[in-house]
Chain A
Amino acid sequence: MDGSTATAGALRAAFVDGTTTATMICEAALARIASRNAELGAMLAVDEASALRRAAALDAVDDRRRAGPLAAVPVAVKDNICTAGLTTTAGSRMLADFAPPYSATAVERLERAGAIVVGKANCDEFAMGSSSEHSAFGPVRNPWDRSRTPGGSSGGSAAAVAAGLVPLALGSDTGGSVRQPAALCGCVGVRPTYGRVSRHGLVAFASSLDQIGPLAATVRDAAVLLRVIAGRDAFDATTASAPVPDWEAALDGDVRGCRIGVPRHLLASGVDAEVSAAVTSALEVLASQGAEIREIALAHTDLAVPAYYLIATAEASSNLARYDGVRYGHRASGERALRAMYERSRAEGFGAEVKRRVILGTFVLSAGYIDAYYRQAQQAREQITAGFMAALDEVDLIAMPTSPTPAFPLGERLHDPVAMYLSDVFTVGASLAGIPALSIPCGLTAGGLPVGLQLAGRPFDEATLFRVADAFEREYGFRRPGPSGAGRRGGA
């Protein structure tokens, strides 16, 4: 079995039926990381010893029929998700040596399901970015074209899955940080409904928006991973008690009668022609499978990116106030006054994008500006949410591109923050509304770069998202890039 192309489901099945061992699967994943990570920059810390110990423990169990749903499956975890004893940097110099005393709930659930955490995936610092260039430890490169960004902020997770280093990864999505890199790297990425997955142990960026979500090569694998990590958690009061369905059991390929709304007014300008063509073709595939495609209006979406960047930076300025060099994180040396120690520790520990966002967030919460900016953005958020809910009264899903462009060259938007923020134009709406959304590969450009189709649904109705995406995937048959990094064409 080729572990670089096998799905998580196939790896587990091979482990359960005795065709292979967890140790062999784990060793192969570690070898792939060792051979390709230097060129991709996808992984930061790799804990070989711990991963192999876990694999040996799985192999030592005689009866594998009761193995967990992710037994023996290697998983990469975005480096803003805490892993006990394994460095969790959030891509920041501030946390370069931070070894969490506990694991995130999502990680604990992964391990309880038999998964093997092989290491931590590179990301934009504190998950702030859309290109994975804002990591203090160097950029991530796109496996389809290493001169281009994998997207961000979960770029390491997406690149690791796309390159076949691991079949599954955890990312986090605040304004699109799972979906956009999934689109740019040609894999499946899911932002669950807000409250579906515990944020306990996720390094906080913008708490009303942050969600942990899966990245995978297939919809089925993503559904299994989400089922494992979802559900109520006493450590996160915002998690929902809503039941967690067996999503993969409902993947029957039947989309007949499913109403899919397309806000064509959003696609009229600013969308790359090849992206637009791929999304249009994908909708035709779904229509040929029996889905009903309708044009819909989404109100106030022109305000989504501005509202998102006001709310997210306001929350970030508050959340990141904890990094003061006192209890953990970087402390500047030699300062004899407390305030000077705070200011220098933060100046030395944070990178440029984090500083910009903390300053902007502080400004929009400051006296004299909070009403004009922050409160007005919250009003806009309510209007945008109402617009999504009104649309989802008429249709079952909303479809649009995940990203307006394919992967862009490294450095292209690094010094133009507004251009970078506009990478999120199609993803921030679902984030603000708290609704589930996923990105699925739907085509390749003439230059061989993946394009993602985004589907968004009603709160806690991930089932419809998975069912429709799986049906499309059956028809489209997308493949990951080959070991050389050169893309292989998808298509039925």
Chain B
Amino acid sequence: MPAEREDFPIARVAALARLRLSPAEATLYQAQLEDILAFVGQVTTAAVDRPSPGPDLDLPPVVERADAVSASLSAEAALANAPDTVGTPALVRVPKILG
């Protein structure tokens, strides 16, 4: 059974996602997301307790690399795509965080 349909809190969630929506986008996405939630919401009522342990998958262990200094990007290369830089060596420039 789909989840009970409710108004999608589009303004609150867009703010959490750091997305500025136009009024037309907000109206459109609200309706579409309500449709999507009604569909994906099937999982909210599904009986999906954790399965009993099955046979081991025999997956290879995850190997971490050594914690050692190695070659890396230069600061110049790392900052080459920055939208706005200042100074030498370059620093990323952003708007003021505190007024």
A38: interface (CB < 8 Å): no
Which B residues lie within 8 Å of A339 (CB)?
18
Looking at the complex, which one of A237, A306, A360, A373 makes contact with B63 (CB distance below 8 Å)?
A: A237
Residues of A within 8 A of B43 (CB): 303, 306-307, 310, 373, 376-377, 380
Q: Which residues of A contact B96 (CB under 8 A)?
A: 336-338
Residues of A with C-beta under 8 A to B16: 362, 366
How many Å from the CB of A403 to the closest CB on chain B?
19
Known contacts A306-B39, A379-B48: does B81 contact A327 (CB below 8 Å)?
yes
Q: Which residues of A contact B73 (CB under 8 A)?
A: 101-102
Query: A174-214, CB under 8 A of B: which get 1 and which 0?
Result: 00000000000000000000010000000000000000000
Contact residues in A for B19 (Cβ distance below 8 Å) = 343, 346-347, 350, 355, 358-359
Stretch from A72-80, A124-132, A269-277, A386-394 forming part of the interface with B: A386-394
Shortest A298–chain B CB gap in Å is 14
Secondary structure at the A interface, as helix, strand, loop or mixed, is helix
Instruction: Judge whether A309 is part of the interface by a CB distance below 8 angstroms.
Output: yes
**Interface contact A101-B39, CB-CB below 8 Å:** no
Cβ contacts A314-356/B at 8 Å (1 or 0 each): 0001000100111111110001111111111011001010011
For A327, what are the chain B residues with a Cβ–Cβ distance below 8 Å?
79, 81-82, 92
Answer yes or no: B27 CB below 8 A from chain A CBs.
no
Q: Which residues of B contact A329 (CB under 8 A)?
A: 81, 83
- Residue A137 is within 8 A (CB to CB) of chain B in the complex: no
Residue of A nearest to B63 (CB): A241
Contact (Cβ within 8 A) A393 B55: yes
Q: Which chain B residues lie closer than 8 Å to A99 at the CB level?
A: 80-81
- Contacts A330-B83, A366-B16, A418-B35; A336 near B49 (Cβ below 8 A): no
Chain A nearest CB from B85 CB (Å) reads 10
Chain B neighbourhood of A307, CB < 8 A: 40, 43
Judge whether B41 and A373 touch: CB under 8 Å.
yes
Chain B residue numbers with a CB within 8 Å of A362 are 13, 16-17
CB contacts (< 8 Å) of B32 on chain A: these are 356, 417
Q: In the complex the two chains form, what is the Cα distance from A287 to B37 in whole Å?
A: 42
Find out whether the CB atom of A101 lies under 8 angstroms from the CB atom of B48.
Answer: no
Whether A335 contacts B40 in the complex (CB less than 8 A), given A232-B63, A303-B46, A342-B18, comes out as: no
B95 at the interface (CB under 8 A from A): yes
| Interface presence of B62 (CB below 8 A) | yes
Encode contact with A along B39-70: 1 for CB under 8 Å, 0 otherwise.
Answer: 11111101011110011010111111100000
Known: A326-B92, A346-B19. A241 touches B60 (CB 8 A): yes
Cα-based distance from A344 to B19 in the complex (angstroms): 7
Question: Residue of A at shortest CB range from B81?
Answer: A328
Distance in angstroms between the alpha carbons of A341 and B39 in the assembled complex: 34
Q: Is A476 an interface residue (CB 8 A)?
A: no
Nearest CB in chain A to that of B13: its residue? A363
Which of chain A's residues have a CB closer than 8 A to the CB of B44? 372-373, 376
Cα(A376)–Cα(B50), bound, Å: 10
Beyond A99-B81, A306-B41, A417-B32, is A359–B48 a contact (Cβ under 8 Å)? Answer: no
Residue pair B83, A380 in contact (C-beta under 8 Å): no
Tell me, rounded to whole Å, the shortest Cβ–Cβ distance linking B87 to chain A. 16
Known: A101-B73, A359-B10. A303 touches B57 (CB 8 A): no
Give the most central of B18, B42, B82: most A CB within 10 Å: B18
Residues of A within 8 A of B83 (CB): 325-326, 328-331
**A57 to B70, alpha carbons, bound, how many Å?**
29
Does A68 reach chain B (CB closer than 8 Å)?
A: no
What residues on A are CB-neighbors of B3 within 8 Å?
A: 372
Look across to chain B and name the residue whose beta carbon is closest to the beta carbon of A372: B44
Q: Which residues of B contact A341 (CB under 8 A)?
A: 94-95
**Cα of A9 to Cα of B99 in the assembled complex, Å:** 63
B36 near A389 with CB under 8 A, answer no
Specify which chain A residues have a CB less than 8 angstroms from the CB of B42 in the assembled complex. Answer: 302-303, 306
Q: How far is the CB of A398 from chain B (nearest CB, A)?
A: 16
- Chain A residues, Cβ within 8 Å of B57: 389, 459
* A-B complex: 4 closest residue pairs judged by Cβ atoms: A328-B81, A331-B83, A343-B20, A386-B51
12 pairs from A and B in contact (CB 8 Å cutoff): A101-B81, A241-B61, A355-B21, A356-B36, A359-B10, A362-B17, A372-B3, A373-B41, A379-B49, A380-B48, A390-B54, A421-B39
A contacts, CB < 8 Å to B: 97-99, 101-102, 195, 232, 234, 237-238, 240-242, 300, 302-303, 305-307, 309-310, 317, 321, 324-331, 335-344, 346-347, 350, 352, 355-356, 358-360, 362-363, 366, 372-373, 376-377, 379-380, 382-383, 386, 389-390, 393, 417-418, 421, 459-460
